[in-house]
Amino acid sequence: MASLTLNKIVKRFGSLQVISDVDLSVEKGEFVVFVGPSGCGKSTLLRMIAGLEAISGGELRIGSEVMNDVAPAQRGIAMVFQSYALYPHMSVRKNMAFALETAGLPKPEVEARVNKAAAILQIQNLLDRKPKQLSGGQRQRVAIGRAIVRDPQIFLFDEPLSNLDAELRVQMRVEIAKLHRELGATMIYVTHDQVEAMTMADKIVVLRLGKVEQIGAPLDLYNNPANQFVAGFIGSPKMNFLDATLLSSDETGSVVSLAGQSLRIPRGLAAVHEGRVQLGIRPEHAMLSSGDIALGQMEIVLVEHLGGNTLLYGKLSDGQTLTVQVEDQARLGMGDTVQIFANAARCHLFTGDGRAFAAV
Amino acid sequence: MSERAEERLPGVQYSRWSGIRKHTMLCCVSLVMLYPLLWMVSSSMKPENEIFTSASLFPSHFDLSAYKRGWFGLDVSFGRFFLNSLIVSVLSVIGNVMSCSLAAFAFARLRFPGRHLWFSLMLGTLMLPYHVVLIPQYILFLNLDWIDTFLPLVVPKFLACDAFFIFLMVQFFRGIPRELDEAARIDGCSAWRIYWKIMLPLSTPVLATAAIFSFIFTWDDFFAPLIYLGDPTHYTSQVALRSFIDSTNQSDWGGLFAMSSLAVIPVFVFFVFFQRLLIEGIATTGMKR
């Protein structure tokens, strides 16, 4: 188990800079998730930590040692790949033992470590099979087992669940979280699935275009997103953003005008800001009754019944679209008109360039 | 539903007559292709006076004396020529498979200065006719005092001189997922160990292909042994077969066809043995693509 520090890490492919000045500190035993849309650089950053990509600038430390130019095998890391990357011609036992044999460990120790990892992952009965004889979930377990036997200081996971079906993904998510608790190891996990990020992480790093947008605990990111991108990325369904006009802003909050109504939102901005803003409301925070602010009437254009809750897609009187998530099974249909309310404390405000107003 | 019926595509009309027509045509074409070979084998069993007088594949009576004549008819036993061919062919297979796979691994996986330039140059050698390099090569081997030994036939094979096999293997290696190399690097493998423990075991189909072609090309090669081998005891079977045809005296066609028929057997056996490896295909089922 070790800590990890990234200091102004940069990655360039020729003249193209894909990772820009990333600073990050991962504590011992922490579960950190890199999340972001495709092409944001999360996998590249992970591969730089693994030593599979050269670092163009900045400093990478594992524990107290600078690791920029250290070979992958000497970094004390183990990596689980999206494609599993099991050696197809070797049995599960051989796959798991391969790194230890390469390191020249004595046979009894190799055997003991493989058996221990197999017991943790409950794959003892699969040890003599070849990868092609395993299901997707079993292969993923073996890939994790291959990482465990090395007893690494840091585990790296590169979208390990994206090839599994939805049910298995949930199951493996729980198992990886459990494994983290049991091993107490430092883990860095890359995903584009914000649900995985929210449910597994101690700390989430949101990336966009090679830059860190925000780092924080899952609920911090959910409750206090630093900007409009993070607010839109974290949370499902996605946060609604409504065009509004800022009328005033002080230490007690801001007043905005939306569809002809003045709404007081308990969020402020240090710098003076005027003009157009975005009012952010999560679908689960918009209500059909009993909120302290009224957003006006919404005409429903689509209803999705999910069983436990219902998603209503509609248009406000000024034409802006809104998604509302109501609990249970709402008896509503297309063309119906409903009144939309929200609690001001759960609303967000963003400047025109996407910065968030702070909660007051 | 029978297994045969299950194989049929839905919506496609299968007619019994079209099947018969198709197979009859395939048999006819196969016969045309096989006729020279069958004629050669049949001629090896015909009495000498029947070889060029009857086009029939069936001899009036079986006469195997041509085999005895062919085997012992030259100054050196034909067993010696087969052995020479075998030595040169097996060493060529080993050399080509080893050296070309190493070169291909380097081109496919390693980063080194001028990689693309070297690869282009290597491919460029494919365009050169053999006859262009023959004289420089001959002078080189003459200076090395290798003429009338197997060395000119074998040593180049250990130096990855066969661009065709390198190209074949590079294409194959490029198809092996790079994540396997990366996983191996994290597992502590050097480039050599990745080649030896990961790439080679996954490359049996292309190695088998290279082995088959290399064996056939070398076994059937007439020109290079003719140029480099002078002493009849060093002749390979292809060069030795030429000895049955005499421009001044009478040629022993029966002996020639008998030994030619025997010369086909090693190639046939080699192909049958290695083609199993070809069809096994690459086992990349440990990867999820």
**Nearest CA to CA, how far is A122 from chain B (Å)?**
19
Burial A254-287 (b: 16+ CB within 10 A, else e): bebebbeeebebbbbbeeebeeebbbbbbbbbbb
Asked if A136 and A164 count as a contact pair (C-beta separation under 8 A), the reply is: yes
* Chain A to chain B Cβ contacts (< 8 Å): 84
Joined tokens for residue B287 = 């990867």
For residue B249, the model assigns a pLDDT of 65
Q: Strands across the sheet with A211-216, in order?
A: A77-80, A154-158, A186-191, A31-35, A203-208, A211-216
Q: What pLDDT is stored for residue B288 in this prediction?
A: 44
CATH superfamily of B72-280: MetI-like (1.10.3720.10)
Percent of chain A with pLDDT over 90: 64
> Which amino acid belongs to residue A150?
R
Residue B289 has pLDDT above 50, yes or no: no
In degrees to the nearest 10, what's the CA dihedral of A101, A105, A111, A114?
-70
Q: Is residue A78 within 8 angstroms of chain B, CB to CB?
A: yes
Predicted-complex ipTM score: 0.85
CA distances from A144 to A159, A167, A313 (A): 12, 19, 41
Residue where the block lists tokens 């048999």: B27
| pLDDT tier, A42 (very low <50, low <70, confident <90, very high otherwise) | very high
CA-closest candidate to residue A161, choices A189, A120, A130: A189
Answer yes or no: do B179 and A99 touch at CB < 8 A. no
Which residues of chain A have a CB within 8 Å of the CB of B186?
A: 50-52, 72-73, 77-79, 99
pLDDT band at residue B148 using 50, 70 and 90 as cut-offs: very high
Q: Does B185 touch chain A (CB under 8 A)?
A: yes
Tell me which chain A residues have a C-beta less than 8 angstroms from the C-beta of B179.
81-83, 85
Kindly determine whether residue B285 and residue A132, on different chains, have CB atoms separated by under 8 Å: yes
Cβ A139–B183 below 8 Å, yes or no? no
Token readout for A320 is 């802006």
Q: Tokens 């060529």 belong to which residue?
A: B92
- Give me the DSSP letters along A173-186: HHHHHHHHHHH--E
- Closest residue in A to B198 (Cα) is A87
For residue range B242-279, list pLDDT tens digits in order. 888 766 667 778 888 889 999 989 888 888 887 777 65
The answer to whether the Cβ–Cβ distance between B186 and A72 falls below 8 Å is yes
Alpha helices in A189-227 (DSSP H): 194-200, 218-223
Confidence of residue A272 (pLDDT cuts 50, 70, 90): low
Classify A119 as helix, strand or coil.
helix
What does the mean pLDDT of chain A come to? 91
Chain A residues with beta carbon closer than 8 angstroms to that of B202: 88-89
Given an 8 Å threshold on Cβ–Cβ distance, is B187 in contact with A130?
Answer: no
pLDDT of B184 higher than 50: yes
Query: How far separated are the first and last CA of chain A, in Å rounded?
Result: 39
Tokens encoding B60: 């009036």
Q: What angle do CA A57, A58, A59 make, to 5 degrees?
A: 130
> Does the CB of B198 have a partner CB in chain A at under 8 Å?
yes
**DSSP β-ladder status, A186-191 and A31-35:** parallel
For residue A133, give the nearest of B175, B283, B178, B199 by alpha carbon: B283
Give A272→chain B minimum CA distance, Å. 51
Taking alpha carbons only, the member of B165, B155, B170, B169 closest to residue B217 is B165
What is the Cα–Cα distance from B115 to B106, expressed in whole angstroms?
Answer: 9
CB-CB under 8 Å, B193 with A102: yes
User: CB-based contacts of B214: which residues, under 8 Å, 6+ apart?
Assistant: B89, B92, B93, B96, B97, B157, B162, B165
Q: What are the CA-CA distances from residue A239 to residues A223, A228, A263, A304 (Å)?
A: 12, 9, 18, 17
Chain A residues near residue B277 by CB distance under 8 angstroms: none
Closest residue, chain B, to A98 (C-alpha): B187
By the CB < 8 Å criterion, does B280 face chain A? Answer: no
A130/B183 CB distance under 8 A: no
Burial classification of residue B262, based on how many CB atoms lie within 10 Å of its CB (0-12 exposed, 13-18 middle, 19 or more buried): middle
- Residue of higher predicted confidence among A182 and A272: A182
Mean pLDDT of A230-257: 89
Q: How far is B214 from chain A (nearest CA, A)?
A: 25
Residue of A101 and B17 predicted with greater confidence: A101
Tens of pLDDT along A333-351? Answer: 888 999 999 888 899 999 8
**A23 C-beta neighbours (distance < 10 Å), count:** 12
Query: Which chain B residues have a beta carbon less than 8 Å from that of A77?
Result: 186
Check CB contact of A253 with chain B, cutoff 8 Å: no
Residues near B126 by Cβ (< 8 Å), separated by ≥ 6? B163, B164, B167
Q: Which of A239, A252, A335, A250 is nearest to A280 (CA)?
A: A239
User: Distance between CA atoms of A62 and B36, rounded to whole angstroms?
Assistant: 72
Residue of A nearest to B184 (CA): A99
Instruction: For chain B, say whether A137 makes contact (Cβ under 8 Å).
Output: no
Partner residue opposite A99 with nearest CB, options B179, B187, B201: B187
Chain B neighbors of A139, CB-CB under 8 A: 286, 288
Task: Please tell me if residue B23 touches chain A, with a CB cutoff of 8 Å.
Answer: no
Report the gap between the CA of A202 and the closest CA in chain B (Å).
Answer: 26
More confident residue, B91 or B1: B91
Mean pLDDT of B223-249: 85
Question: How many other β-carbons are positioned within 10 Å of the β-carbon of residue A229?
Answer: 18
Every domain of chain B with CATH number 1.10.3720.10 lies at: 72-280
Half-sphere exposure of A182 (CA within 13 A, CB side): 11
Instruction: Give residue limits of the domains in chain A.
Output: 4-232, 237-359
Could you please state the CATH topology (level 3) that the domain comprising A4-232 is classified under: Rossmann fold (3.40.50)
Buried b (16+ CB within 10 A) or exposed e, A65-88: eebeeeebbebbbbbbbbbbbbbb
B113–chain A Cβ distance below 8 A for any pair:
no
pLDDT at B7: 64
**B285 touching chain A per CB within 8 A:** yes
Q: What is the pLDDT of residue B150?
A: 94
- Which chain A residues touch B187 with a CB distance below 8 Å? 73, 98-99, 102, 146, 150
Choose the closest CB to B202 out of A88, A103, A136. A88
> Quick check: A73 and B188 CB within 8 A?
yes
- Phi first, then psi, for residue B74 (nearest 5°) are -95, 175
Distance CA A325, CA B83 (A): 83
Among partner residues B179, B188, B285, which is closest to A85 by beta-carbon distance?
B179
Please state, in angstroms and rounded to a whole number, the distance separating the CA atoms of residues A313 and B259.
Answer: 85
Name the fold adopted by A237-359: OB fold (Dihydrolipoamide Acetyltransferase, E2P) (2.40.50)
A163 chain-B contacts, CB cut-off 8 A: 288
DSSP 3-state assignment of A24? strand
Q: Which residue of B has its CA nearest to A78?
A: B186
Model pLDDT for residues B120-129, shown as the tens digit of each residue: 999 999 888 8
**Residue in B188, B197, B288 closest to A103 by CB:** B188
Which helix (DSSP H) or strand (DSSP E) does residue A229 occupy?
helix A228-233
